[in-house]
Structure 1
Amino acid sequence: MTDSSKPLTGDVIPPRKKATPGALEGFAALNQLVGAARECITIHALENTKQARIQAYAHTEIARIKAAESVLRDYFAQAFAERRVTTDAMFERLDAAIETGDSQVISDVVRAVVDIAKSSPLKDMGDLSQIRAALDDPDQVWDL
């Protein structure tokens, strides 16, 4: 056999072990772990506080909306009740004018009915953009 065909002989050297971290590296890792946990707890508490504020704000806004809804419902009830009385009276006049054949009264009543139909109860409230701005204003105080 030639030199290259001979088997190798010798001792197998085990792989070198990694150096174990020293006490300072272990302490630094522990500090990082404690710091990260403390930051997590702080952020969790902060986010819970934000959630509580958002819920309180939502409850306040819902109460404001319900109060405004109540006022608006009352307004519509009154505005349409007044219109109902007025239109009922006009139609009674129209029926009477038709029975008597008074074309002038018929014309006047029909014109008045059309005028009422053209107007909106909200028209009397003023500029609706001001109402929208008030609804969007978180500091708006609604008097009931």
Structure 2
Amino acid sequence: MPDQPKVHVGKVFEAARGPLRAMDGFAALNQIVEAARECIHVHEVESTKRARIEAYEATEVARIRAAEAILRDYFAQAFAERHHLYEEMFARLDTALENGDGEVLHTVVRGIVDIAKSSPLADIGDLSQVRAALDDPDQIWDL
């Protein structure tokens, strides 16, 4: 964790109860100048940190949006292929029923069930690895 900014340390003068020496006035002026200088420095450092965080946020949001677009396209294609595949399988099922062909009927039904068992996400791989990557703050996502 980065070092925390130090609280200003210095001698705090009590209100004068008698005559002030020139050195006391000069010391108070130096204390004000040093406190203002430290305040400006802390403001600059924190502004820089904030700008870095905002830039990181913008970069990560852009990466998330790009990954989202790719995933949306993948799902659209995967489910479009499945839709077409199901249409073909059910057309063959209807033909097998019309022709009374039990062997083709059995094969087509088994094919429909096998397709229904698989998920388009199954082709991606181990989803627990994806979850672990999402939880890892140091993960670099390449698109």
How far the C-alpha of 1:76 sits from its partner, in A, is 1.4
1:126-137 counterparts in 2 under 5 A? 126-135=125-134, 136=136
8 Å Cα contact 1:68/1:142 also seen in 2: no
Quote the residue 2:140 is aligned against.
140
Quote the residue 1:30 is aligned against.
29
8 Å Cα contact 1:94/1:106 also seen in 2: yes
TM-score normalised per structure 1 = 0.77
Identity of aligned residues (%): 61
Larger radius of gyration: 1
**Which 4+ residue blocks in structure 1 deviate beyond 6 angstroms?**
none
Pairing 1:43–2:54 present: no
Provide Cα deviations, 1:43-63, integer angstroms capped at 9, x if missing partner: 111111011001100110011
Q: What secondary structure sits across from 2:35 in the alignment?
A: helix
Provide Cα deviations, 1:52-75, integer angstroms capped at 9, x if missing partner: 001100110011111111211221
Single out whichever of 34-43 and 71-80 deviates more from structure 2.
71-80
**Structure 2 residues without counterparts, runs of 5 or longer:** 1-15
**Superposed CA RMSD:** 2.0
**Structure 1 residues without counterparts, runs of 5 or longer:** 1-16
TM-score normalised per structure 2 = 0.78
Q: What secondary structure sits across from 2:93 in the alignment?
A: helix
Q: What secondary structure sits across from 2:116 in the alignment?
A: helix
Pairing 1:108–2:107 present: yes
Query: Partner amino acid for 2:140?
Result: Q
Q: How many residues align?
A: 127
How far the C-alpha of 1:34 sits from its partner, in A, is 0.9
How far the C-alpha of 1:85 sits from its partner, in A, is 1.6
Single out whichever of 120-129 and 133-142 deviates more from structure 2.
133-142
